[in-house]
Structure 1
Amino acid sequence: MDTTPEQWRDGIVALLPRLRRFSFALTASAADADDLLQATVEKALSRYEQFEPGTDLDKWLFRMCKNLWIDEWRSRRVRGPSVDPMDFRSEIQVDGEKLLQDKVSMLEVREAMDKLRDDQKVVLALVAIEGYSYKEVSNFLDVPIGTVMSRLARARSALQDILSKPQVKKEKGADNAY
């Protein structure tokens, strides 16, 4: 059964919330996640002719998103990081000890995830955040299920190690340990 362009676009729209969460898990920035999501959807819409009927749309879009992120990450390594000062002012601040603790915890987790290797970060995002099964992630990434399990185990262990150690100020130019 062939999918009409309208059905195909509706499928993309239905995947947008999950794709945005995945983008945020990769980038750790709402603005960058939105940019990555937009680039992914733009690329997907321009490649309708290349989409083969019977291909899993989830797999196709998540792989496209991951590849775009890797390309962007590599180019940022060459260009260097950029900071948007408006990111800090756009958040609405609410008093409350619980909210502050939650924000600190989320920041620590985001920073810890940034220290993970890319392959571990991708698997962790797909399994822990998106809720995909090991088999689905294996299919998305075209790797054996054992590789998914191994990467996930290493990612979880690395996160636990990072989060359990006292925070030390990162030295300029220090490489990721994981």
Structure 2
Amino acid sequence: MLPRLRAFARSLAGTRDAADELVQATCERALRAASRFEPGTRLDSWLFRIMRNRWIDEHRARRPHASLDDPCLAPALELESARHEEPDERLRLGEVRAALGRLPEAQRSVLVLVCVQGLSYREAAAVLDVPVGTVMSRLARARAAVSAALGENKGGGEDRGREGGDG
């Protein structure tokens, strides 16, 4: 779970150091609250919710700022192979990072939870404590913004079928 937690933490916190601190705080809180985890439910959704709540608490207390110079992109997207790809492919990955970094936090979180972490709309809604329709709306806006930033005319359809069971 740590790579996935780090990926989500980066989408929230913006910097690697802040993300690492958020992961550590999440793990500590989860260990203290382990008795409240309901067997048979998804551990990842439970941990993502703890992380998001922790981030909100810290954000409200300190009002931290994430630098757009260090775009928020889930480390899961920083594929090891990208280091060995052609310069054009690395440039494209940089464009994706920049586009994600410009998204509002609410859209970025939904995009990371659904498209990177693989949560269903319903699971993402539970993590973010919003209605499923809000997840769908934010995801559509996030995809459109990233597509526009990358100069693509089509919206992505890689998540078709995920809607089933979330309505």
Whether TM exceeds 0.5 here: the answer is: yes
State the match for 2:47 in structure 1: 61
1:45 to 28, 31, 39: 31
Structure-1 separation of matches of 2:87 and 2:96: 14
Q: Which is worse superposed, 18-27 or 36-45? A: 18-27
Where does structure 2 lack aligned partners over 5 or more consecutive residues?
70-81, 153-167
* Structure exhibiting the larger radius of gyration computed from Cα positions: 1
8 Å CA contact retained: 1:28, 1:110: no
Q: Could you tell me the percent identity over the aligned residues?
A: 43
Equivalent residue letter for 1:106: L
Contact kept? 2:52, 2:127, Cα under 8 Å = no
Alignment partner, residue 119 of structure 1? 106
Give CA deviations for 1:69-113 in whole Å, capped at 9, x if unaligned. Answer: 343486223xx85x9xxxxxxxxxx997x3433332222222211
Equivalent residue letter for 1:152: L
Equivalent runs, 1:1-178 vs 2, <5 Å: 15-48=1-34, 51=36, 53=38, 56-70=42-56, 71-72=58-59, 75-77=63-65, 98-164=85-151
Query: What's the C-alpha RMSD, in Å, of the aligned pairs?
Result: 3.2
The answer (yes or no) to whether the contact 1:26–1:125 under 8 Å persists in 2 is: no
Q: Decide whether the 8 Å contact of 2:52 with 2:128 is kept in 1.
A: no
Runs of 4+ more than 6 Å apart: none
Paired residues, number: 137
User: 1:18 offset after TM fit, Å?
Assistant: 2.0
Which amino acid is 1:53 matched to? E
Partners of 1:106 and 1:29 lie apart in 2 by 17
| Separation of aligned partners in 2, 1:120 and 1:32 | 20
Q: TM-score, normalised by structure 2?
A: 0.65
Contact 2:49 2:127 in 1 (8 A): yes
Structure 1: gaps (5+ residues):
1-14, 84-93, 166-178
